[in-house]
A and B are shown apart, each in its own frame.
Chain A
Amino acid sequence: MNAFVEPATMPGSGVAKGEVLLSVANVSLAFGGVKAITNISFDIRKGEIRAIIGPNGAGKTSMLNVINGFYHPQEGTITWRGKARRKMKPYEAASHGIARTFQNVALFKGMTTLDNIMTGRGLSMKKNFLWQCLHWGPALKEEIDHRHRVEEIIDFLEIQAIRKTPVGRLPYGLQKRVELARALAMEPELLLLDEPMAGMNLEEKEDMSRFILDVNQQFGTTIALIEHDMGVVMDLSDRVVVLDYGRKIADGMPEDVQKNQDVIDAYLGVPHEE
């Protein structure tokens, strides 16, 4: 399988491997009186797999939503490719190379697998609307080019058999895979995965782990993932950040984090001191 994106030709990427690609600094997010995230800072380096872990309600998904612009934090800055900003906008995040998947699969249920993945190409399709209506000439050529890329992703994720199936009919594990395919179709520089293995059986988890590693190694895509399965987190990730009650309690190598007393307490449910 040839890599469909050469890391060097990654769109708009000026960040070298190992340098900081995204950093959040002193980010706080509240919904009315409820504090979802309090003063969190961490960074994601180009080319790494960064895990975000923590008990339920720790603010992990909120953090991803801040990064791709669904939530706008009240305080803090987000630095993406060296440019600092108060908040991301969803369109900006998507067009600047941030793709994501969702905890509860968010697919376009009425569409086929192929059409779902094609929506991921939408931002890079530029041909005039009138041409598209004619479905001929340059627009047709463009559609075919993009379709070619999509077929490569389909091969990569081994979902050839369900190409024409409406995704609403697929089993959960495959839906998760289609969602990953749609995110990959955007050729992202940073891929956010929100519990990619939730609800999967062991075999599906192993498949998904392999895909995540392959995406990271073959395409050079930086990955930030939320996951509850500690075995998976320890195997996959280069660095781990741990959240609890909206605060960061640990950040570092998997083996260090594993030994951290605060982390152990958080997971065992030791009462909180205010």
Chain B
Amino acid sequence: MLFFIETVLSGLMAGVMYSLVALGFVLIFKASGIFNFAQGVFCLFAALTFVGIMEKTGVPWPVSFVLTVGVMIALAWAIERFLLSHLVNQEPIILFMATIGLAYFLEGLGDLMWGSDVKPLDIGLPSGASDWMLDTFDIYVEKLEVVAAVVAAALVTGLAVFFQKTRIGRALRAVADDHQAALSVGISLRTIWVIVWSVAGIVALVAGIMWGAKSGVQFSLSLIALKALPVLILGGFTSIPGAIVGGLIIGVGEKVAEIYLGPFVGGAIENWFAYMLALAFLLVRPQGLFGERIIERV
């Protein structure tokens, strides 16, 4: 039983990390209907910049964090100015293609600026097992994962307040619902898009730092975006709570399946379990757990 609890806990913690990445997708999709293929590369680029600034200038990590936030905001502005503003009113598939291009561009830019070697990310985040949990409950929990969970919780709370309580949040939800009506009450689409992409960039930075602390900042970071896809399918593309719950389900499902089903099929279930779960889910509830229901009148 203890072992089962341990498995579920470690699944929950891994799930939080997936949720962090999925959040960025949801934000952009909700506000602009664009599926941002570059979100994974956003994480890589943000983490690279964060580590790069520390390496080159030797500033302490909070300074580097603030500078990187600045870079992500500048990036959001540039994306709006040079990419999105030229593609207004295009088909979603065209915008999607544009984000694929953006992904490769950013990947190259990151390499060019900071080099392509694996960089350790050490900002003093605790690592190893939590002794307290081990002593009191005899359960093994990674400290870093607890930190990630706390950070994710804080981030989601912050975003929820931002979306529900502020004028800008209200404007964001308005744009997500109806572009024309939003324009008619004087909301500027361009400003809103810059804000959304900035927020998605900052979320990507946080996710990049957490993943970077776990496995070093390297190219494979951009591939965690692929793990966010089943999370989105489960949770729904338009729901922030959905991204969280979806991440947790995938995280726990993966770990439990690996340990209890793995031995019967030769292991390595973890690699494909999430996608199978998403596929099964699509058949039953294509809009996801919390997504807006798709009603087609024919």
Contact = CB atoms under 8 A, between A and B. Distances in A.
A132 B174 CA distance: 17
B178 A108 contact: yes
Contacts of B168: 129, 132
B170 A118 contact: yes
Interface string B10-23: 00000000000000
Given A108-B177, A109-B177, A110-B177, A70 B183 contact: yes
A268 B90 CA distance: 39
Interface stretch (A24-32, A88-96, A246-254): A88-96
A220 interface: no
A69 to B, nearest CB: 8
Interface string A92-136: 001100011010001111110001001110110100010011010
Contacts of A183: 184
B188 interface: yes
Interface centre among B168, B174, B178, B184 (most CB of A within 10 A): B184
A186 interface: yes
B173 interface: yes
Contact of B184 (A94, A115, A129): A94
A100 B183 CA distance: 10
Interface stretch (B159-167, B209-217, B249-257, B275-283): B159-167
A222 interface: no
B177 A111 contact: yes
A99 B184 contact: yes
B165 A135 contact: yes
Interface residues of A, number: 29
Interface in A55-113: 68, 70, 90-91, 94-95, 99-100, 102, 106-111
A90 B183 contact: yes
Interface residues of B, number: 23
B183 to A, nearest CB: 4
Contact of A119 (B170, B180, B292): B170
B181 interface: yes
Interface centre among B161, B168, B182, B185 (most CB of A within 10 A): B185
B178 A119 contact: no
Interface string B33-45: 0000000000000
A110 B162 contact: no
B170 A107 contact: no
Contacts of A100: 184
A46 interface: no
A120 B182 CA distance: 9
Contacts of A109: 177-178
B241 to A, nearest CB: 14
Contacts of B162: 133
Interface string A179-216: 00011001000000000000000000000000000000
B186 interface: yes
A115 B181 CA distance: 14
Contacts, number: 79
A107 B178 contact: yes
A94 B185 contact: yes
Interface string B141-183: 0000000000000000000011001111011011011101111
Interface in B168-227: 168, 170-171, 173-174, 176-178, 180-188
Given A108-B174, A109-B177, A132-B168, A119 B187 contact: yes
Given A102-B180, A108-B178, A122-B170, A132 B185 contact: no
Nearest to A65: B180
Nearest to A140: B165
A108 B170 CA distance: 10
Contacts of A135: 161, 165-166
B199 to A, nearest CB: 12
Contacts of A68: 184
A20 to B, nearest CB: 23
Nearest to A118: B170
B184 A91 contact: no
Contacts of A111: 170, 173-174, 177
Contacts of B184: 68, 90, 94, 99-100, 102, 106, 183
Contact of A122 (B178, B180, B185): B185
Contact of A120 (B173, B185, B188): B185
B247 to A, nearest CB: 23
24 contacts: A68-B184, A70-B183, A90-B183, A91-B183, A91-B186, A94-B183, A95-B186, A99-B185, A100-B184, A107-B177, A107-B178, A108-B173, A108-B178, A108-B182, A111-B170, A111-B173, A115-B170, A118-B170, A119-B187, A122-B185, A129-B168, A132-B165, A132-B166, A133-B166
Interface of A: 68, 70, 90-91, 94-95, 99-100, 102, 106-111, 115, 118-120, 122-123, 125, 129, 132-133, 135, 182-183, 186
**Shortest beta-carbon contacts, A-B, top 4:** A94-B186, A106-B181, A108-B177, A132-B166
Given A91-B188, A110-B292, 18 more contacts: A70-B180, A91-B183, A94-B185, A99-B184, A102-B181, A102-B184, A106-B181, A107-B178, A107-B181, A108-B173, A108-B182, A109-B178, A122-B167, A122-B187, A132-B167, A133-B162, A183-B184, A186-B185
